[in-house]
Structure 1
């Protein structure tokens, strides 16, 4: 039996500098944050959206926590042991923690959370497939649980720090119902839900009894502002204190830099953007055509000129920080003459039309799409750009397989592990894979999930990336920096690369 034990004491942790039970400090001040998207539901099992996590990180906690430094530390579990060669994890839970409604956090809440995630309710959302390695959660005592796995999952502890694994209150959901919970979330986090106006804002208040110490702020409001120019104008006017990624287009970077009251904060993040192909319909059914379209576009110039260096090129759908990224894998070169030849060989006539679907509120991507259309025109392809409201594109057009020839996919890759992206994008039957079904690729994706040998697992992940590139399932574009606009009255702000900033230690003048 191999045992790995991690304890907060050994890590020298002091969450927010306070021990559990320390009298909370008096909170003061309101922070207003602009977010480009209302996720529509605050239930952790309903979403994959980074803009959900930007808010929900302040409402919910997981058993583990990963902050802006990307290090994994204890969350609601103060320690854990990995047992039985990775097939069982024993979590020792924090004592004295309560949900915002006064309901106790305990082993029963953990068991309920994961049975719900892996059951009928979780099956309605996109998160369950990330946690299918979990077989059962067994209560040892009120503050100890065993998570038994069907097979080892080397990324599970990181997954437990976010999204579907956020711990939810059993009694509250049973009494109030699922629909109520969607719009009136209750967690154990540093801020408590106050009100929610769909597509307008969500208002939170400080949780003075937070187990990590009371927040320095008294109020936290997220306003949903999809239009970048409006968000930046509100920031300049002082009605918004922070504008979250990916709101700020590169064209507005100098506006923020030129304002004496504002600060531009840009950090490398996990978010990657690609144009994925409809491999079922039209000319893009042919891999030769897909490769031609990739070779027709000068991605280097796009990064340097259109994105002003606030991004980096990618060869696969992951950032350089991702486990599984292969620096030896190079993207198809920009070669318009070779692209023309491939199109001719595939029998594609000049003037053939293709449609590019994009998120309508993503100003940067809309500019990039216009440039891509110009490049395609140079090889005889006429591209039209179809903008969609983000939730429509993500919840209807893509999952239902109703896209044009190419469609924008921007993905957070928040685990910094290629599995989290690749399984969702390429495995048969997944929400984000409406067109492909490849048994060989499915087998590769499944095989690496149970491996604890990092070297072998990395080899398979790189093989997956090569397979995707060989079949040209997408046009890899760029890895974006996370760009924040911040009013200088905000103190103690540490930008999170994955946009999951916890605001409990932030204050305002």
Structure 2
């Protein structure tokens, strides 16, 4: 008797990249668990959602934690989850949440006001270890717990972004026992969460297994499923090669590929494997200059490079579900305005600006100044699937006399280089369905500060006002000003808008996306 498609082996019984075959004996034994096998394109690096900024980490973390609030992916409306209701002061300095009474962590301890307060205190205490958390709790002065079902947050200044922040994976709720562990211990596992799945095992660079929590009964308002998860468990497996993931999906070795690449979509379609995509809100893939770099300390050089990019030409190496950038923010982000006119490809203008800055054509077709060639290093992870985009930009800048060197590094070396500023450019994307995402990258006081700026400028003044402003029209105007300043000063060189492109076997239904376009597997199920 052949194995039915929806009867899945556990991680221990099925090695990564090897198809499951065999026979099932007729007996009274219960069927094996239904485990959804999900491929990640890179190692999660750190499982703790409070710390992790990486996409793969957050894919796993999203399944493990519940949040105070939920966010409607279509309207952006903030809706109940662990908090049943809330009030916000007129000046957005005080937030008061009322909690459900029936929620517990995996270890049975209650998700009460004290536990919620501890989670947000943890985000503050992590500091630079939590670049997103530091942004979400910026200006947080005090957390009070008048009773077990009420938690109050008070900010030093208006914090227009905080309510939306309570729906993000990074503010997901972890048990006090987990928070007592060191940040390093939490990265490697042992997490006790509040979501529909429980963390079982984690093997770095290999796999992470989760099991469905049988008593889960508090889905968010946007959930399309209720009760325990529809499958018995999840197994996330690391498969860095897109072609291997595509082949494994076509042959049934995996059930979901969380990072389908453009070159694989036709093959998947031909094999009858559905591909679903959703644009990611926030800052799209953007080159960020190290402004302490000798050449890039000059805003004229950075501005020239903005106009040296032919963005429509990038479409040749993008997914059909993605498009080139028309602003720093992606088009699905609240507060987006089309700034295409500020991102025009104008090689003559770029050349004139470089000439005026003293970078003149030199030997080998590379511009020089004071005998130094205009050679710039773009540092990125060797597992980065966007290297074809970087290669196109490299070719475009070469026509202008700019030598862009692509430096792929292993995960550890890449983290060290970015932490120490050992680069001329990095390329980042930050997902958040709120325009205050701009503060995460461009504030001089942010935990990340990839521009390596040391002195506040006009953009910092604008970002402060954006963070304090709740009136929609005024907030929109400020978001536009920040985006224009980021482009005009060359802090940002936008390339393209990313999308979550997920392939799931035809027998798998119920995979959905949250408001940040992260896949949700709570309601995923096998159809016979």
TM-score range, shorter chain: 0.7 to 0.9
2:232 to 197, 213, 218: 218
Q: CA separation in 2, counterparts of 1:375 and 1:338?
A: 14
Q: CA deviation at 1:291?
A: 2.4
* Structure 1 residues 444 and 361: CA distance shift in structure 2, 3 A: same
Whether the aligned pair in 1 keeps the contact of 2:252 and 2:505 (CA below 8 Å) is yes
* Structure 1 residues 273 and 206: CA distance shift in structure 2, 3 A: same
Q: CA separation in 2, counterparts of 1:145 and 1:474?
A: 38
Q: CA separation in 1, counterparts of 2:479 and 2:32?
A: 46
Q: What is the aligned-residue RMSD (CA, Å)?
A: 2.3
Q: Provide the residue aligned with 2:47 in structure 1.
A: 42
1:230-288 Cα shifts (integer Å, max 9, x gaps): 222221221211111xx32212221111112x111122222611122222223222222
Q: CA deviation at 1:80?
A: 1.4
Aligned length: 473
1:255 aligns with 2:264: no
1:277 to 289, 297, 301: 289
* Structure 1 residues 224 and 432: CA distance shift in structure 2, 3 A: farther
Q: Provide the residue aligned with 1:227 in structure 2.
A: 241
Helix, strand or coil for the counterpart of 2:64?
A: coil
Q: CA separation in 2, counterparts of 1:325 and 1:474?
A: 15
1:355 to 377, 381, 386: 377
1:417 aligns with 2:434: yes
1:238 aligns with 2:252: yes
Q: CA deviation at 1:44?
A: 2.9
1:325-373 Cα shifts (integer Å, max 9, x gaps): 222562332122332222222221331322222332233x211111112
Q: Provide the residue aligned with 2:449 in structure 1.
A: 432
Q: CA deviation at 1:189?
A: 0.5
Q: CA deviation at 1:64?
A: 0.6
Q: CA separation in 2, counterparts of 1:281 and 1:84?
A: 44
State the TM-score, normalizing by the size of structure 2.
Answer: 0.84
Q: CA deviation at 1:177?
A: 5.3
Q: Provide the residue aligned with 1:324 in structure 2.
A: 335
1:375 aligns with 2:396: yes
Q: How does 1:486-505 map to 2 (within 5 A)?
A: 486-496=504-514, 498-505=516-523
* Structure 1 residues 308 and 145: CA distance shift in structure 2, 3 A: closer
Q: CA separation in 2, counterparts of 1:254 and 1:448?
A: 43
1:443-472 Cα shifts (integer Å, max 9, x gaps): 221122122222212212211111112111
Q: CA deviation at 1:131?
A: 1.1
Q: CA separation in 2, counterparts of 1:299 and 1:285?
A: 24
Whether the aligned pair in 2 keeps the contact of 1:267 and 1:497 (CA below 8 Å) is no
Q: CA deviation at 1:103?
A: 1.4
1:307 aligns with 2:318: yes
1:95 aligns with 2:101: yes
Q: CA separation in 1, counterparts of 2:89 and 2:343?
A: 44
* Structure 1 residues 133 and 283: CA distance shift in structure 2, 3 A: closer
Q: Provide the residue aligned with 1:403 in structure 2.
A: 423
Q: CA separation in 2, counterparts of 1:330 and 1:237?
A: 46
Q: CA separation in 2, counterparts of 1:53 and 1:316?
A: 25
* Structure 1 residues 391 and 163: CA distance shift in structure 2, 3 A: farther
Whether the aligned pair in 2 keeps the contact of 1:273 and 1:410 (CA below 8 Å) is yes
Helix, strand or coil for the counterpart of 1:292?
A: helix
Helix, strand or coil for the counterpart of 2:193?
A: coil
Helix, strand or coil for the counterpart of 2:281?
A: strand
Q: CA separation in 2, counterparts of 1:265 and 1:291?
A: 36
State the TM-score, normalizing by the size of structure 1.
Answer: 0.87
* Structure 1 residues 27 and 93: CA distance shift in structure 2, 3 A: farther
* Structure 1 residues 87 and 297: CA distance shift in structure 2, 3 A: closer
Helix, strand or coil for the counterpart of 2:519?
A: coil
Q: Provide the residue aligned with 1:508 in structure 2.
A: 526
Whether the aligned pair in 1 keeps the contact of 2:439 and 2:446 (CA below 8 Å) is no
* Structure 1 residues 444 and 68: CA distance shift in structure 2, 3 A: closer
Q: CA deviation at 1:195?
A: 0.6
Q: How does 1:287-302 map to 2 (within 5 A)?
A: 287-302=299-314
1:30 to 14, 26, 35: 35
Q: CA separation in 2, counterparts of 1:209 and 1:467?
A: 50
Unaligned runs of 5+ in 2: 1-30, 219-226, 367-372
1:186 to 181, 192, 198: 192
479-488 or 329-338, larger mean C-alpha shift? 329-338
1:166 aligns with 2:172: yes
293-302 or 211-220, larger mean C-alpha shift? 293-302
Helix, strand or coil for the counterpart of 2:36?
A: strand
Q: CA deviation at 1:396?
A: 2.3
Unaligned runs of 5+ in 1: 1-25
Whether the aligned pair in 2 keeps the contact of 1:329 and 1:466 (CA below 8 Å) is no
* Structure 1 residues 27 and 108: CA distance shift in structure 2, 3 A: farther
1:57-86 Cα shifts (integer Å, max 9, x gaps): 111111012254454221111221224643
Q: Provide the residue aligned with 1:65 in structure 2.
A: 70
Q: CA separation in 2, counterparts of 1:170 and 1:355?
A: 43
Q: How does 1:62-141 map to 2 (within 5 A)?
A: 62-66=67-71, 68-69=73-74, 70-83=76-89, 85-119=91-125, 121-126=126-131, 127-141=133-147
1:457 aligns with 2:469: no
141-150 or 424-433, larger mean C-alpha shift? 424-433
Q: CA separation in 2, counterparts of 1:111 and 1:495?
A: 28
